[in-house]
Amino acid sequence: MVSEPTRGERNNNPFDIEVNPRFKWLGQTGQDGPFCTFDTIEHGLRAGFLDIWNAWKEGYNSPAKFAHHYAPEADGNDTAAYAVKIADVAGCRIGDEVWPISRDFLVRVACACLLMEQGHIAYTQRQLYQAAIDAEPWLPSVEGTDGYGNPLPT
């Protein structure tokens, strides 16, 4: 039996990112209630990965801290279950502060968020890793550039 797509899937917004009137994501086309809509799933996944990365680098760098920030109880979330899911999927303890994070760790946190937000992961490993790559131009590439094509300082 094929289930109906979730609201996040219909909106190409699987992380259920809420609209911020001061900011528009790449590929954001509008909103559905409080949530952004995106033109493609690639743009929605990229936005979600950027959202996770930004929160993590701002100091929400443990499953517990991130869950309280990203999925607050005030919004009807089970924050404790969210933190447990992140820790389980990411392979760390709830209170572990992890910084800096690797691409693999970012993908694991994103997968935990997808499981909590959508109840499943409807995307391939290739799509998820491509979203992580698209969201992290600041990381050095194999060619020794900063991700924008500029040489790294020597």
Identify the CA nearest to 45 among candidates 140, 148, 122.
122
- Could you tell me if residue 141 is inside a domain? no
Distance CA 144, CA 36 (A): 35
pLDDT tens for 25-81 read 999 999 999 999 999 999 999 999 999 998 998 999 999 999 999 999 999 999 999
User: Does pLDDT of 130 surpass 70?
Assistant: yes
DSSP letters, 60-102, are --SHHHHHHHHS-GGGT--HHHHHHHHHHHHTS-TT----S--
Helix, strand or coil for residue 5? Answer: coil
In-domain check, residue 152: no
**Average of per-residue pLDDT values in the chain:** 88
Any domain includes 1: no
* 69-91 tens-digit pLDDT: 999 999 999 999 999 999 999 99
Is-cis flag, bond preceding 14, omega within 30? no
What residue numbers bound the domain in which 121 lies? 7-134
Assess if residue 140 is contained within a domain.
no
Question: Across-strand partners of 36?
Answer: 31
Residue 109 falls within a domain, yes or no? yes
Is residue 75 situated within a structural domain?
Answer: yes
Q: Write b or e for each residue in 18-31: b if 16 or more Cβ atoms lie within 10 A of its Cβ, otherwise e.
A: ebeeeeebebbeee
Report the predicted TM-score, pTM, of the whole model to 2 decimal places: 0.85
Instruction: Read off the pLDDT band of 1 (50, 70, 90).
Output: low
Beta bridge partners, 38, equal 28
In the chain, how many domains are there?
Answer: 1
Proportion of the chain above pLDDT 90, given as a percent: 75
**107 lies in some domain:** yes
